[in-house]
Amino acid sequence: MTQPETPDNAPRIPSAMSAESNQSLPFAAALDDFFVYMRSEKQLSLHTQTNYARDLEKFQKYCLEKRITELDKLAPNHIRIAVAQLHRTGLGGKSLQRWLSSLRSFFQFCIKRQWMGSNVADGITAPKSPKKLPKTLDVDQAIQFVEVEGDDFIQQRDRALVELIYSSGLRLAEVVALNLNDIDWGEAMLRVVAGKGGKSRVLPIGSAAMVALKNWLPARKLFTTDAEQALFITQRGSRIGHRAVQIRLQQLSVQQGMDTPVHPHMLRHSFASHMLESSGDLRLVQELLGHENISTTQVYTHLDFQHLAKVYDKAHPRAVRKPDSND
């Protein structure tokens, strides 16, 4: 069968290593065959081929420096040393993971061609990339954002919505899914159900959020029926959607004079960051955020842990929950 012609811009590995060895298959020949396979049999995109070429060229350069020109001379230790060298030059964890993936694919191809007996890159991992702290608002910025003024339907709803997200660290999906009966109005507590397993958690609601929610209820009632149980609705009387919340927060970012667009998860991140700054209680924040693994919460800080509503009341800048004489 005639092989398709190689496009002029198709990636090629430089044939820096001689193909004249009579001992075992040289790198250059194996790489050429690998790229014919990638292009003709796998029919990978030009972008993917270019990525493979870039990754394998790095390894070829390393092997030239070590005078390794043949496949049967490779050992796992060569891969480990190459990973360490690339990491020292500034290549990050994710880039090194992709680089190792390219090597494994190439070596697996060589094994199928019976040019190698084992995949010398198997079991070798890249250094982990440091987790970056999500972008957050400081306390003053958060308060500026959630203090939405006005008494019409949209303003009442938006104020209650953003106050509640920031008060209790809710995910977008969680706040959209809330029903009226999820709130204990007397105790100022909230039940949230989230995740694939439908796990629930109970969260405190700060005083500012409770005031905004109670002010929102009369406006909400004018636009819907008793059959609709959604806490947050549109002017059409139905449950508000994810995209509608995102758009409203973008509009509020401009309206409230924010320097950067605020999205729902930024409010959740800000909640977590402010709670940790005030309390230093990582376990508390893990429980409030609903993280199964505390390592997920550790992206916010490396503080040590030490309980729930009492710490919350002292720590959250909008949380001083006082008994309501009307309850």
Q: Which of 157, 239, 268, 321 is catalytic?
A: 268
Q: Is 196 a catalytic residue?
A: yes
At residue 196, does pLDDT exceed 60?
no
Residue 230 sits at φ, ψ, to 5 deg, of -60, 135
Name the residue with higher pLDDT: 36 or 294. Answer: 36
d(CA 276, CA 206): 16
Looking at the chain, the number of H-run helices and the number of E-run strands are 13, 3
pLDDT given for residue 309 in this prediction? 58
d(CA 300, CA 282): 9
Q: Is 268 a catalytic residue?
A: yes
Q: Which of 78, 87, 201, 291 is catalytic?
A: 291
- Confidence at 132, pLDDT banded by 50, 70, 90: low
Q: Which of 67, 196, 302, 322 is catalytic?
A: 196
CATH: 3.30.360.10, 3.40.50.300, 1.10.443.10, 3.30.70.3150. Which one for 139-315?
1.10.443.10
Q: How far is CA 184 from CA 122, 207, 213, in A?
A: 54, 13, 12
Q: How far is CA 79 from CA 30, 88, 158, 317, in A?
A: 18, 14, 55, 51
At residue 36, does pLDDT exceed 70?
yes
Domain boundaries, the chain: 27-112, 139-315
Q: Which of 166, 220, 274, 300 is catalytic?
A: 300
Q: Which of 78, 98, 214, 265 is catalytic?
A: 265
pLDDT given for residue 8 in this prediction? 46
Q: Is 291 a catalytic residue?
A: yes
Q: Is 300 a catalytic residue?
A: yes
Name the residue with higher pLDDT: 155 or 23. Answer: 155
The model's pTM: 0.55
Percent of the chain with pLDDT over 70: 80
Per-residue pLDDT reduced to its tens digit, 85-109:
888 888 888 888 888 998 999 999 9
- Confidence at 241, pLDDT banded by 50, 70, 90: very high
Position of tokens 């009226």?
180
Q: Which of 171, 201, 214, 263 is catalytic?
A: 171
Please name the residues in contact with 119: beta carbons below 8 A apart, sequence gap of 6 or more. Answer: 104, 107, 108, 111
